[in-house]
């Protein structure tokens, strides 16, 4: 779910995505994914953004919709392990946080590999 209120207020106040990314200690591409709804904005990030924009959090906050994160995960592929197929919803917030963190880290690694490959040309 796109964060339309956040995007509109950010633009109205004249701030760039880079400036907001700096506030929540992330890179601009990850912040862009957060604003577009592809990556979750956590409560502490909402709080930092609202302080930076000098607005109550309620004026910018928009809830995230639950969505499929991964398909067919294998958490332990050792013999005798039990893996549930086609996991589409996690109720455990800690699991979501871990997966989000890993997804963001993978994106950062992909960006770094791309940057390194471009530097060798």
Nearest to 63 by CA among 114, 5, 103: 5
Q: Which two tokens stand for residue 8?
A: 């509109």
* pTM for this predicted structure: 0.53
Work out whether the CA dihedral 92, 105, 71, 31 comes out positive or negative: positive
Distance between CA atoms of residues 101 and 48, nearest Å? 18
Nearest to 99 by CA among 109, 90, 112: 90
- In 3-state terms, what secondary structure has residue 78? coil
* pLDDT tens per residue, range 97-118: 778 888 888 988 998 888 888 8
Tokens 């796109």, located at residue? 2
* pLDDT tens per residue, range 12-47: 999 999 999 999 999 999 999 999 888 889 999 999
């Amino acid at each position: 779910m796109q964060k339309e209120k956040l995007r509109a207020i950010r633009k109205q106040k004249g701030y760039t995505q880079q400036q907001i990314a700096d506030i929540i200690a992330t890179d601009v591409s990850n912040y862009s994914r957060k604003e577009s709804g592809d990556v979750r904005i956590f409560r502490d990030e909402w709080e930092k953004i609202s302080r930076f924009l000098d607005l109550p959090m309620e004026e910018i906050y928009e809830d995230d919709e639950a969505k499929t994160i991964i398909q067919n995960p294998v958490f332990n592929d050792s013999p005798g392990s039990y893996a549930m197929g086609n996991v589409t919803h996690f109720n455990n917030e800690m699991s979501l946080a871990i997966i989000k963190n890993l997804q963001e880290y993978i994106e950062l690694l992909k960006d770094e590999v791309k940057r390194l490959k471009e530097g060798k040309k």
